[in-house]
Amino acid sequence: MATPLLEMRRIGKSYPGVHALTRVDLSLRSGEVLALMGENGAGKSTLIKILGGAQRPDCGVIRLQGDEVSIESPVRARELGIAVIYQEFNLVPGLSAMENVFLGQELTRAGWIQHDQQRARTRELLTQLGMEFDPETPCRLLTVAQQQAVEIARALSLKARILVLDEPSAVLTPREVDKLFSIIRRLQARGLGLIYIGHRLEEIFQIADRVTVLRDGANVGERAIVDCSRNQLIEMMVGRELQNEFPKRDSRPGAERLVVKGMSRGRAVRDVSLKARRGEVLAIAGLVGSGRTELARLVFGADRADTGEVYLDGRLLGIRSPRDAIAAGIGLLTEDRKLQGLVLSHSVRHNFALPNLDMFAPLGFLDSALERAEFGRFSEALRIKLSGGGQAAGHLSGGNQQKLVIAKWLARRCEVLIFDEPTRGIDVGAKYEIYGLINDLAWQGKVVVMISSELPEVLGMADRILVMHEGRITGEIADVRASSQEEIMKLAIA
């Protein structure tokens, strides 16, 4: 066989008290898409940071086309033709697409930037990716898919041979995901090697040629995707067999608890009414921009509604702010846990305490012993993996961050819990635990409203589905077991 484009052999990396990587091997061929899979905390991010020069390994060897190399910095990685595109793009919003592509590597003559050449080259790169938009458009005005294309164009301008895509589809619509896959296939045809990190298994089987799985910082399997089933891949990732990807629950919804009447805000949410029952998992589906998140924010008081009323157990709630919603027993797990759900620089214990200060500091002085005791109880119950209560929330894995957000609302004893994209960016094992928590809350008689873009998740978890399009509810699916993704999509584009 031809010499691999990339070889990483016996890569090791340790932090105080933690073995992040233990003699990990990875290989990549030209024109191949390699899926790098594993649970949150399995070591994927550490391995990619080493490849991208952001961290140095403690041991191991990296070879490019058979030649051993040392990647001591991101600059060195770019010089070697390695580009990493993270989920949070490294773009300057106020600069144009063209300026971002050539930032730090401007085309100049006698000290003057050659704008015409840069514009023409950017347009050429975007055309190669199948994207057509004005290179002088500021990046803040581009769609997420277009911004992603700018990142890839920048990598191509640097003559990248290896492209790493970290959760590239997390915030894309289904149509944009199809466009991304088209771009990936174009890059494959040009001989680039691509490493694709993702948690959506259906995408892995659609785009990857081969899969490498990490668990607890070590290799546990490598297979051609055609030789691997969905259940086998899940078992490699979590280290045990999952009989059912979505844990079953004996659903017996009771009386109506949450009632929303005539909720509106501009064109984002238009005259929406809904009812949710005791012990029911009510899913709200729809395409990105359909108004799902906007509706959740109105119910929670994060945005001011033009019209609308919210009732809980027959009582009208005068919700004008999140403080009012929390006092009424409503909790919102936001779509973006990093920006809106947590203060990443603060400790996990202080994040847990934020919405519960009236319990932990009733007289204005924090009862640290009570805070520690309650946090310990909930972190143990939810099996949050952390080094201690003083650990910064930003250092937790995605799944454990989501559990932390859930813990603070459980401590609040909320009767209504709105989950907005509860498993985005979370591995299959952590997803299963989140699903179990949702089922437990429903079994306790809570009202659970779940907003999700993942249709298998909606069909696997919901007792009833409402579908939104352009700010309105366009349909209701009561018999979820007899429904399909196609039925939901028809309502979502009505």
* Most trustworthy range by pLDDT among 32-36, 86-90, 283-287: 32-36
Q: Which of 237, 233, 235, 234 is nearest to 224 (CA)?
A: 233
pLDDT tens across 111-130, in order? 888 889 999 999 999 988 88
Q: Which of 412, 405, 409, 418 is nearest to 299 (CA)?
A: 418
Using pLDDT thresholds of 50, 70 and 90, give the confidence band for residue 453: confident
Whether 406 has a pLDDT exceeding 70, the answer reads yes
pLDDT tens across 223-232, in order? 999 998 888 8
Q: Which of 14-18, 298-302, 372-376 is predicted least confidently?
A: 14-18
Stronger pLDDT, 493 or 441, i.e. the higher one: 441
Stronger pLDDT, 248 or 8, i.e. the higher one: 8
Question: What are the structural domain ranges in the chain?
Answer: 6-238, 256-492
End-to-end CA distance of the chain: 51
pLDDT tens across 314-356, in order? 999 999 999 999 999 999 998 877 778 888 899 999 999 888 8
- Residue 442 identity (one-letter amino acid): A
Instruction: Look at residue 243 in the predicted model and tell me its pLDDT.
Output: 63
Instruction: Look at residue 420 in the predicted model and tell me its pLDDT.
Output: 92
The answer to whether the CB of 405 falls within 8 A of the CB of 337 is yes
Using pLDDT thresholds of 50, 70 and 90, give the confidence band for residue 241: low
**Summary mean pLDDT of the chain:** 89
Using pLDDT thresholds of 50, 70 and 90, give the confidence band for residue 165: very high
pLDDT tens across 294-305, in order? 999 999 999 999
Instruction: Look at residue 130 in the predicted model and tell me its pLDDT.
Output: 84
Whether 70 has a pLDDT exceeding 70, the answer reads yes
With pLDDT > 70 as the criterion, what percentage of the chain qualifies?
A: 98
Dihedral sign, Cα of residue 97, residue 163, residue 338, residue 46: negative
Instruction: Look at residue 400 in the predicted model and tell me its pLDDT.
Output: 83
Instruction: Look at residue 1 in the predicted model and tell me its pLDDT.
Output: 57
CB-based contacts of 377, cutoff 8 Å, min separation 6: none
User: Is 6-238's fold the same as 256-492's?
Assistant: yes
Stronger pLDDT, 15 or 129, i.e. the higher one: 129
Return the CATH superfamily for domain 6-238: P-loop containing nucleotide triphosphate hydrolases (3.40.50.300)
pLDDT tens across 272-293, in order? 999 999 999 999 999 878 899 9
Q: Buried b vs exposed e over 151-175: b needs ≥16 C-beta within 10 Å?
A: bbbbbbbbebbbbbbbbbbebbbee
Instruction: Look at residue 475 in the predicted model and tell me its pLDDT.
Output: 94
Instruction: Give the relative orientation of helices 115-128 and 144-157 as an angle to the nearest 10 degrees.
Output: 110
* CATH code for the structural domain at 256-492: 3.40.50.300
Q: How far apart are CA 133 and CA 146, in angstroms?
A: 8
